[in-house]
Structure formats: C-alpha cells, structure tokens
Amino acid sequence: MHTVVVGTSGVTASDVLAVARGGARIELSAEAVAALAAAREIVDALAAKPEPVYGVSTGFGALATRHISQELRAQLQRNIVRSHAAGMGPRVEREVVRALMFLRLKTVCSGHTGVRPEVAQTMADVLNAGITPVVHEYGSLGCSGDLAPLSHCALTLMGEGDAEGPDGVVRPAGELLAEHGIQPVELREKEGLALLNGTDGMLGMLVMALADLDALYKSADITAALSMEALLGTDRVLAPELHAIRPHPGQGASAANMLAVLKGSGLTGHHQDDAPRVQDAYSVRCAPQVAGAGRDTLSHARLVAERELASAVDNPVVLPDGRVESNGNFHGAPVAYVLDFLAIAAADLGSIAERRTDRLLDKNRSHGLPPFLADDAGVDSGLMIAQYTQAALVSEMKRLAVPASADSIPSSAMQEDHVSMGWSAARKLRTAVDNLTRIIAVELYAATRGIELREGLTPAPASQAVIEAVRAAGVQGPGPDRFLAPDLAAADAFVRGGHLVAAVETVTGPLQ
C-alpha cells in the first residue's frame, strides 16, 4: 500500500488524495517527531509560568480573559473538544473527514502547534486503522478554523463520540480504538485548541474539487467538440493562431483539446451547405473562451491550495525563537474566495453545455436533425425531458454559485465578528461538481445521438471511439422512446469514472 510520510514542510495535493480517497498509510518523519518534541518543550515551559498565555493557561475566544489554574487545564482541553463537537445535520462524506484529519495532522507536524508527538501519532494511527469520525454538515463558520468538524475528529482521539469502522459500521469510538490497539489521548495544555483551529475541512474539499474539475474540464472540451460535429459547425474557430492573439492559457488549451478531438472529422465545415451560416452560435463558437476562463480559475485556485498546503494554521503558534503568539492565520478567506470562484466557473460551464444540448434538440436550430432527436417525432418525445433534467441541474448550479464568502455572521459574543463561511463554500462546491458531471453526461448523450443521426457523414476517429465506448458502457443510441433514466445514469457513470477522457485519449494521446 502507498505510504505518505508527513514532515514539517507541509504536504502535496497528491498526498491528500492518496489518504482521503486511496486509503494510503501515514508515517511521521523523524524530522516531524523532533519538531513536535521541541515545540512541546516550549509550551511546557510557558505552562509552568504564572503569567497567562492564550490557549495554554487561559480560556478560549470571548472567555480568553480567564486564567486557568494548573489543576483545571486538562479538564479545559477536554471541555473545549466536547463543547465544540456541536455539529448537526447529515454526516459528511468519509473522504472529506479523512482529508480533514490528515490536513490537521499536517499542521500539527509542522512543529508550530505545541502538540506532543504521541498525539500526532494517534492521529496517524486512527487514519491508518480506517476509523472515520462522524462529522456533521453544519457547525463551521470557516473562522477559528472548521471548529465543529475538527472537534468531532478530536473527540474520536479521546475515545469519545461515534466513528465509522473500516467495515462501514458506526460504533462508539472507544470500542473501535480498543479493537485496533489504539490508546485514547489525554489532552494537555494547548492540545485541544490545536486540534480544532484550522482551515483543514475547506482545504481538503478544495483539493478534491480541483482534481475532479480538472477531469471535468477535459470532459467538457470533448462534449463541446462532439456537439460541434453533431451541429455541423466549423472547427476553423479553433485554429491556434486565433487563440494566440488572445493568449489566455486555459482558452488555448481548451481549443487545442477540441481540435484534437475533431481531427479527421467529416462533419465539421458543412455550415455553408444547405442552410448557410456565416458563423456558429456563441455556445459552439465560444466554447474555448468559456471553458478556458474556468481553466484559468482552476490554476489560480490551485496556487492558493498549494500555499495553504504548505502552511501551519493554528492560534496561537509556536515560533522558532520560542515565542507563542496569537494571530489570525486561521481565517478562511483565501480558501473561501477560490471555492466560491470555482462554483461560479462551474455554473457557467454547465450553462453553456446546456445551451448546446438545447440547440441539438431544436429542429429550427439543429441544421437538419429530427426534433428532440426523436425516432418518430410526435409519437416519440426523444430527449425532450433529458434536457429538462439538464436545465434543472443548471438552474441549481446558478443558485450554488451565489458566494458564501460574501456573507459573515458574528459569533462568540462578537469576539469572532467577521467569518469566512469557507466550509459552506466548500460544501456547495461539492454539490456543484456533482451536478456538473451530470450536465456534461446529458450533453454527451445528446451529442453522440446527434452524430449517429448524421447518416452518410463520418465522425472524427476520436468521436467514433467515444461512441463505441459509451455504447459498450450501456448507453443506448438512437431509436424509439424507452425508459431514459438508466441511459442517463450510465452516461453519468461513464463521465464520472473518467471513461470519456480515456476513450478520446486512445486516439489523441493525452489532452491538456
């Protein structure tokens, strides 16, 4: 099994995906263990002094003015975890919780938190055992970290609350730890606070969304090219010299992908035949510009994620010179903004895909295709309601594109009076990515049927490879009306599983 070694300098996106989705094992580097021990010595020295230090010998948030005596500090750390584990609503997905815990461990291992090495090792042991704390949908405002979600994870480390075992069954966390020979931790000064105070949930969801969207943007380039073929559009608008004079990198990449898919097509270039067109509609002609802008948004979001993956997010932090300083690095604004930005770009990509689908189904705009791509229009409705479903998904995408980070709701008796709402931005982005996959699947379904209905014209080799692969996957071609939901589900699985991109790349080689 793949092993991820956590050191002091952060982790990579591929590390996060390996742990969250691939079940990779985790090891702590010797460097990380040494840094943990050194930072803990500083915290222990401060804890022995009579002067109050935030997070070490004081209360938290609006209660930070109270100095906590030594005999109550272990109770203080237990209490912050128990009281902050106040999430509500549906359970969060297993991959999100694993990313959340792993990213918290990443910061702990930086040596800036003051957590003991044995606590960090327990975090790794829980992940390696396949134990997943029960975390709920609601409870994070994206400031002072993803507090409630991280608290539910810390609760499991203490042997309290509920968790899911490797068999998928939810049981008391104490039982699961005992079965795997893991000793519950007894938290000491600062450790409870250090386990709760980070942007780890929203960052984990950002990393996974970036991976998913990278694949979906390639898929969208492919379905746009297939739609262009089915509509007998012109691929001349994809010429590299046209995109070179507006040199946005994403635009050039999308145009190059579409051109690669369409190489050797016998369908493109017929826009001057029976129903002459000077140029194609925007949804066809401007596909690289819209998808390309989204790709450039992905690049910016990836840069933010990489910076955050290299960060130590905690409050207070232990500095190399021995100071323990309060700070605002836990604020989720940098991550929240790009999560919202990605949701906007995804909504626009879904919207332009739906417009191409609608054009394929409208006999007045499809340049010779039958109404709704039906076998016997009137008797058959064809793909009429498939487009309704796609339109409903697009409308939902537009609602999900409303920025969460534009909102702020004060908390903690106005001590935390401006929050990022980054967790909410991440949760709605996950739904948006899910819906975008379905939207692209509907366009794929319509475009492949449209191409097959162009009798006497030969599609590009890459397009033919897609048609053969998608039909082999159980997505049926043209014909009389049938129960449509299974076809759409099969198309969704085809896109979601990466089979669309794989089918094209057997002909074109790797897409950009």
Contacts of 232 (CB under 8 A, 6+ apart): 267, 268, 269, 270, 271, 273, 367, 368, 454
CB 385 within 8 A of CB 246: no
Peptide bond into 316 cis (omega under 30): yes
- How would DSSP label each residue in 217-265? HHHHHHHHHHHHHHTT--GGGG-HHHHHTS--HHHHHHHHHHHHHHTT-
CB 74 within 8 A of CB 84: no
Contacts of 496 (CB under 8 A, 6+ apart): 437, 441
DSSP classification of residue 12? -
Q: What's the rounded Cα separation, in Å, for the pair 481 and 383?
A: 9
Q: What's the rounded Cα separation, in Å, for the pair 266 and 457?
A: 6
DSSP classification of residue 371? G
Q: What phi, psi does 58 have (nearest 5°)?
A: -135, 170
Tokens of 6: 């956590």
Q: What's the rounded Cα separation, in Å, for the pair 127 and 99?
A: 10
3-state secondary structure of 463: helix
Q: What's the rounded Cα separation, in Å, for the pair 118 and 128?
A: 15
If phi > 0 it is left, if psi is from -120 to 50 it is alpha, else beta; for residue 130 that is: left
Q: What's the rounded Cα separation, in Å, for the pair 335 and 377?
A: 49
Contacts of 225 (CB under 8 A, 6+ apart): 257, 258, 261, 262, 460, 463
Q: What phi, psi does 377 have (nearest 5°)?
A: -55, 130
Q: What phi, psi does 138 have (nearest 5°)?
A: -115, 140
Contacts of 320 (CB under 8 A, 6+ apart): none
Reply yes or no on whether 54 is catalytic.
yes
Helix %, strand %, coil % of the chain (to 5):
55, 5, 35
If phi > 0 it is left, if psi is from -120 to 50 it is alpha, else beta; for residue 188 that is: beta
Q: How many Cβ atoms from other residues are within 10 Å of residue 323's Cβ?
A: 11
Total residue count of the chain as it appears in this document: 512
Contacts of 478 (CB under 8 A, 6+ apart): 373, 375, 449, 452, 453
**What residues act catalytically?**
54
